[in-house]
A and B are shown apart, each in its own frame.
Chain A
Amino acid sequence: AQKITQTQPGMFVQEKEAVTLDCTYDTSDPSYGLFWYKQPSSGEMIFLIYQGSYDQQNATEGRYSLNFQKARKSANLVISASQLGDSAMYFCAMKKIDISSGSARQLTFGSGTQLTVLP
């Protein structure tokens, strides 16, 4: 079974500083996708960034970048210049091809990291 591990239940960062949220995954499949979602206290799930297993470059989206180290099976989220509005729960998730269906239907989530940005 695929597994996502987020080892930091909580993180604190000073406003305007950068922060790295860790994510490791476990799969032997060559094709998979890694996603990061933000869940603010209001509860909705907001898609942040995607990294494909075959992508040669690390994904970037504005202040978000993904530090993808394939050999180490890690996909850490880097948030630069933290803002107070970045305070939220962050989830790492993975999709891979289901052998029986030939498609990637299920997102498997980690347990999340609660980020608090301090003023």
Chain B
Amino acid sequence: NAGVTQTPKFRILKIGQSMTLQCTQDMNHNYMYWYRQDPGMGLKLIYYSVGAGITDKGEVPNGYNVSRSTTEDFPLRLELAAPSQTSVYFCASSDLAGVNNEQFFGPGTRLTVL
């Protein structure tokens, strides 16, 4: 199993540009998550999904959109990139959503907005 994969690994955007961060998992997990990690900080939840067709906002959703058309894929869309969105983005998945269920993380996408 590849686990959770993310593309691209790095990206530089200009202010106002848009892009989609891709996330795919091959573990047949129902739950998927997008986090951002600002320099020197912990991760904050942007959006999550409990299954295909169902998404919901996390702690910091402004400026982002998501969709979940399949169990495997959970892309994150930035419509109008802003310097405040410079961050490292992590996608994660889990099979269940109990307090004891580990979330498996992808390798991250480092995004810089200039």
Chain A residues within 8 Å of B, Cβ to Cβ: 4, 31-33, 35, 37, 43-45, 47, 50, 52-53, 91, 93, 95-97, 101, 103-107, 109-112
**Complex: chain B residue closest to A4, CB-CB:** B42
Chain B residues within 8 Å of A, Cβ to Cβ: 31, 33, 35, 40-45, 48, 50, 58-59, 88, 90, 92, 97-108, 110
B42 touches A91 (CB 8 A): yes
A88 and B48 CA atoms in complex are apart in Å by 27
Within 8 Å by CB of A107, from B45, B88, B106, lies B45
Residues of B within 8 A of A111 (CB): 40-42
Residues of A within 8 A of B106 (CB): 44
- Sorted from nearest, which 3 A-B pairs have the closest CB atoms? A109-B42, A33-B99, A103-B97
**Complex: chain A residue closest to B106, CB-CB:** A44
B48 touches A105 (CB 8 A): yes
A105 and B43 CA atoms in complex are apart in Å by 14
List 13 interface pairs A-B (beta carbons < 8 Å), by A numbering: A33-B99, A47-B104, A50-B102, A91-B43, A93-B42, A103-B97, A105-B48, A105-B50, A106-B45, A106-B48, A107-B43, A111-B41, A112-B42
A104 touches B105 (CB 8 A): no
Q: Which of A101, A105, A112 has the most CB of B within 10 A?
A: A105
Besides the known contacts A111-B40, A112-B41, 9 further A-B residue pairs in the complex with CB atoms under 8 A apart: A31-B99, A32-B99, A44-B108, A104-B99, A105-B50, A106-B59, A107-B92, A110-B42, A112-B40
